[in-house]
Amino acid sequence: MGSRLTWLQIRERREFKGRWVALDECRYDTKTSQPIEGSVVDSDEDLVTLCNRMQESDNRYCAIVYCDDAETAPPPTVRRSPSSPSFTEFTPAPGRPYTH
Protein backbone atom coordinates (compact mmCIF):
# COMPACT_ATOMS: atom_id res chain seq x y z
CA MET A 1 0.00 0.00 0.00
CA GLY A 2 2.25 2.80 1.27
CA SER A 3 0.07 5.82 0.39
CA ARG A 4 0.11 8.77 2.81
CA LEU A 5 -3.41 9.66 3.89
CA THR A 6 -5.20 11.70 6.53
CA TRP A 7 -7.56 9.94 8.95
CA LEU A 8 -10.50 11.51 7.10
CA GLN A 9 -9.24 10.14 3.76
CA ILE A 10 -8.82 6.68 5.29
CA ARG A 11 -12.38 6.76 6.66
CA GLU A 12 -13.75 7.73 3.23
CA ARG A 13 -12.18 4.76 1.43
CA ARG A 14 -14.34 1.65 1.15
CA GLU A 15 -11.30 -0.63 1.21
CA PHE A 16 -10.61 0.33 4.86
CA LYS A 17 -14.15 0.35 6.32
CA GLY A 18 -14.51 -2.24 9.07
CA ARG A 19 -10.80 -2.99 8.98
CA TRP A 20 -7.75 -2.42 11.14
CA VAL A 21 -5.24 -0.20 9.33
CA ALA A 22 -1.48 -0.11 10.04
CA LEU A 23 0.02 3.38 9.69
CA ASP A 24 3.70 4.27 9.61
CA GLU A 25 5.36 7.69 9.83
CA CYS A 26 2.31 9.08 11.62
CA ARG A 27 1.51 12.66 12.44
CA TYR A 28 -0.29 12.87 15.78
CA ASP A 29 -2.90 15.26 17.17
CA THR A 30 -1.17 17.37 19.83
CA LYS A 31 -4.19 17.27 22.17
CA THR A 32 -5.24 13.62 21.93
CA SER A 33 -1.96 11.98 20.83
CA GLN A 34 -4.00 10.02 18.27
CA PRO A 35 -2.68 9.51 14.72
CA ILE A 36 -4.30 11.91 12.26
CA GLU A 37 -2.18 11.11 9.20
CA GLY A 38 0.24 8.42 8.11
CA SER A 39 1.48 6.08 5.42
CA VAL A 40 -0.84 3.10 5.06
CA VAL A 41 1.25 -0.05 5.31
CA ASP A 42 -1.39 -2.79 5.52
CA SER A 43 -4.96 -3.50 6.65
CA ASP A 44 -7.04 -6.49 7.73
CA GLU A 45 -10.43 -7.29 9.26
CA ASP A 46 -8.66 -9.36 11.92
CA LEU A 47 -6.48 -7.43 14.38
CA VAL A 48 -4.42 -10.48 15.38
CA THR A 49 -3.64 -11.35 11.76
CA LEU A 50 -2.57 -7.78 11.03
CA CYS A 51 -0.40 -7.59 14.17
CA ASN A 52 1.27 -10.89 13.26
CA ARG A 53 2.08 -9.60 9.77
CA MET A 54 3.45 -6.35 11.20
CA GLN A 55 5.58 -8.26 13.70
CA GLU A 56 7.04 -10.39 10.91
CA SER A 57 7.81 -7.37 8.71
CA ASP A 58 10.07 -4.34 9.04
CA ASN A 59 7.06 -2.25 10.12
CA ARG A 60 7.02 -3.28 13.79
CA TYR A 61 6.29 0.15 15.24
CA CYS A 62 3.21 1.12 13.26
CA ALA A 63 0.12 2.66 14.79
CA ILE A 64 -2.84 0.37 14.19
CA VAL A 65 -6.22 2.05 13.97
CA TYR A 66 -9.75 0.75 13.40
CA CYS A 67 -11.73 2.34 10.58
CA ASP A 68 -15.39 2.49 11.58
CA ASP A 69 -18.21 4.34 9.76
CA ALA A 70 -19.57 5.76 13.01
CA GLU A 71 -16.20 7.09 14.13
CA THR A 72 -16.10 10.90 14.42
CA ALA A 73 -13.32 11.25 16.97
CA PRO A 74 -9.69 10.28 16.37
CA PRO A 75 -9.32 6.52 15.87
CA PRO A 76 -8.74 3.93 18.60
CA THR A 77 -5.17 2.69 18.40
CA VAL A 78 -3.03 -0.26 19.36
CA ARG A 79 0.56 0.58 20.20
CA ARG A 80 3.49 -1.67 20.92
CA SER A 81 6.00 -0.39 23.41
CA PRO A 82 9.50 -0.30 21.81
CA SER A 83 11.02 -1.15 25.21
CA SER A 84 8.79 -4.20 25.66
CA PRO A 85 7.69 -5.74 22.31
CA SER A 86 5.39 -8.20 24.09
CA PHE A 87 3.42 -5.37 25.76
CA THR A 88 0.49 -4.03 23.75
CA GLU A 89 -1.54 -1.00 24.86
CA PHE A 90 -5.02 -0.35 23.50
CA THR A 91 -6.33 3.21 23.52
CA PRO A 92 -10.08 3.38 22.79
CA ALA A 93 -11.64 6.34 21.05
CA PRO A 94 -12.94 9.02 23.42
CA GLY A 95 -16.39 8.13 24.70
CA ARG A 96 -16.08 4.51 23.59
CA PRO A 97 -14.78 2.26 26.39
CA TYR A 98 -12.72 -0.80 25.56
CA THR A 99 -14.33 -4.06 26.60
CA HIS A 100 -13.28 -7.57 25.75
Q: Write the pLDDT tens digit of every residue in 26-58.
A: 999 999 998 999 999 999 999 999 999 998 987
Structural domain harbouring 47:
4-91
Does residue 23 lie in a domain region?
A: yes
24 half-sphere exposure, CB direction, 13 A CA radius: 13
Q: Does some domain include residue 100?
A: no
Number of independent structural domains in the chain:
1
Residue 97 located in a structural domain: no
Is residue 71 domain-resident?
yes
All residues at 6 or more sequence positions from 48 whose CB lies less than 8 Å from its CB, including other chains:
none
Q: What is the pTM of this model?
A: 0.67
81 inside domain = yes
* pLDDT for res 82: 60
Query: Which among 6, 27, 10, 28 has a CA at the least distance from the CA of 19?
Result: 10
**Residue 48 maps to a domain:** yes
